Chains A and B, each alone.
Chain A
Amino acid sequence: NAGVMQNPRHLVRRRGQEARLRCSPMKGHSHVYWYRQLPEEGLKFMVYLQKENIIDESGMPKERFSAEFPKEGPSILRIQQVVRGDSAAYFCASSPRHRGNTEAFFGQGTRLTVV
């Protein structure tokens, strides 16, 4: 049973380009969370999705960021017109249901560098 798979592991984009980060949850998991880790900081919640639904996007910047989790395929975090401040590690976590008494399983992360 593969764990949470994120790709790419490393992504370099020039300012103004688009970044697409993918997350395939563990088999049987229908809940996905995205977190961002800036240098020297802890992880910050961005968005929580279930299949075809955004449940909570309170941690997402209001502009340029969007997320989806389609019925088929991975969850996508999309950053348009990237800026240097978007450089960070982006982690995806999945769980089998609404998180109650179970921990979320994290992917290896995508390290985005904007040059």
Chain B
Amino acid sequence: EDKVVQSPLSLVVHEGDTVTLNCSYEVTNFRSLLWYKQEKKAPTFLFMLTSSGIEKKSGRLSSILDKKELFSILNITATQTGDSAIYLCAVVDSSNTGKLIFGQGTTLQVKP
């Protein structure tokens, strides 16, 4: 059965800290991996990763994919209270549907 596993499930840090969120997957028909940020509303898109070893960067956030070891990490540097959210990792199924297979999410709380 296809699965996506995120760790840690929850994390509490202080402003200014750097965090690394992990996502490992076992998916038969892998196309790409997506990261989303979810506050109390719709998941908002952060990154799409398709190739190994190419870092995607957006401000203080960055992410990279390792297709050999089947995992991805999301880094957030100099965290701010506004980074507090659930971070979701999802794998795009490359079969006919293109559905997303989500991990459980990592709940990040950044304290002032």
Seen from chain A, the residues whose Cβ lies within 8 Å of a Cβ on chain B are 3-4, 33, 35, 41-45, 48, 55-56, 59, 91, 93, 95, 98-101, 103-109
Q: Could you show 8 A-B contacts with beta carbons less than 8 Å apart?
A: A35-B102, A42-B102, A42-B103, A45-B99, A99-B98, A103-B45, A106-B43, A106-B44
User: In the bound complex, do residue A33 and residue B100 qualify as a contact, i.e. CB atoms below 8 Å apart?
Assistant: yes
Which 8 pairs from chain A and chain B are nearest by CB?
A99-B98, A42-B102, A56-B97, A106-B42, A43-B102, A42-B104, A45-B99, A103-B45
**In angstroms, how far is the closest chain A Cβ from the Cβ of B7?**
13
| Contact residues on B (Cβ < 8 Å of other chain), bracket | 20 to 34
> Does B45 lie within 8 Å of A109, measured CB to CB?
no
Residues of A contacting B36 with CB < 8 Å? 106
Q: Which of A35, A98, A100 contacts B100 (CB 8 A)?
A: A35
Docked pose: A14 CA to B32 CA in angstroms = 40
